[in-house]
Chains A and B, each alone.
Chain A
Amino acid sequence: MEDYSELEERLRSLRPLPLADACRARIGAGLARRRRRRRGVLACLLVAAATLLLWLAWAGAEPDVPPAPVAEDPRTPPSLRSYQQAWQESDAALFALLDQHGAQLLPRLASLPNLQDD
């Protein structure tokens, strides 16, 4: 096998052309552009995260108060209440009336002409 060590030494002594300054500057500019882009993305993420945190803080600070019970208006017509409730209330009112005034009412009811005819 031939010995090329001398030739290798001669090759090693050659000095390749260095990178031109303009090429180096373009590489630097490319890296700087990439850094700026990465910083921009980071800034956007930070703003989004801060907005989310603020929103969460604002939502957490709101008092969790249950809605106030609506007072029952006595003028509310029975038709707006539940049918069963209205029925029970009217029954109770009728019986209370009969308890109080039944003794006086019954003779008068009996004396009414329509009732006598029926």
Chain B
Amino acid sequence: MNTTPDSWNAWLDATGAALLLVARTLCRNLADAEDAVQSGFLRFWKQRAAAHNPRAYLFRCVRAAALDQQRSQARRRRREARVAAGGRQEVWFRDELERDEQRAELAAALRKLPAAQAEVVALKIFAELSFAEIGALLTLSPNTVASRYRYALKNLAQVLVGRR
């Protein structure tokens, strides 16, 4: 996406779902992921003018917010309490809600990937970032990111074949 939306609503329209998905790969429930998107987006909006690549910077902000949140002891306790109380259904994609079996199966396989691999898939496929941009975001070389991505696809394929 080359266009740069001016208003915050346009930014959220263009990237909101991908931001939430990337946050979901790091946070273990929807409420925490939404919190991370909120605080990451506010941080991004304040400093977006100075960003060389605003779109990649937005994902970096949300990722940093998600990691900060996971480190927070208080939030972890609250999350555990919510999970103990039943919590909500862990769904990442609309397809799962619509009971599209094939897609739901793929979504479930993606959710089962190690967090680092799921994150790279989310950033590559849904955030539409290049390997170089993902590498800058994760402080990894583009080659490492590419091989992690291929491992993720290989794992996904194995999970899907194993289910059939």
Contacts and interface: CB of A to CB of B under 8 A. Distances in A.
A51 to B, nearest CB: 29
B12 A4 contact: no
Given A14-B103, A16-B17, A17-B93, A23 B121 contact: no
A6 B140 CA distance: 27
A15 interface: yes
A16 B93 contact: yes
B37 interface: yes
Given A16-B17, A19-B34, A23-B38, A8 B106 contact: no
B147 to A, nearest CB: 11
Given A7-B157, A19-B37, A31 B110 contact: no
A2 B149 CA distance: 13
Interface string B136-163: 0000000000000010011011001000
Given A14-B95, A16-B126, A24 B107 contact: no
Interface stretch (B40-48, B49-57, B70-78, B79-87): B40-48
Interface in B86-117: 91-95, 97, 103, 106-107, 110
Q: Is the interface of A mostly helix, strand, loop or mixed?
A: helix
A96 B38 CA distance: 101
Contact of B156 (A7, A13, A26, A27): A7
A15 to B, nearest CB: 4
Interface size class of B (residues with CB under 8 A): 35 or more
Contacts of B21: 16-17
A11 interface: yes
Contacts of A11: 106, 110, 121, 125, 156
27 contacts: A7-B156, A7-B160, A8-B125, A10-B106, A11-B106, A13-B103, A14-B103, A14-B107, A15-B17, A15-B95, A16-B18, A16-B20, A16-B93, A17-B92, A18-B94, A19-B17, A19-B34, A23-B20, A23-B34, A23-B38, A26-B38, A27-B8, A27-B41, A27-B42, A31-B45, A34-B42, A34-B45
Enumerate the 4 nearest inter-chain pairs by beta-carbon distance, A residue then B residue, closest first. A19-B16, A16-B17, A16-B21, A4-B153
Interface of B: 8-9, 12, 16-21, 30, 34, 37-38, 41-42, 45-46, 91-95, 97, 103, 106-107, 110, 121, 125-126, 150, 153-154, 156-157, 160
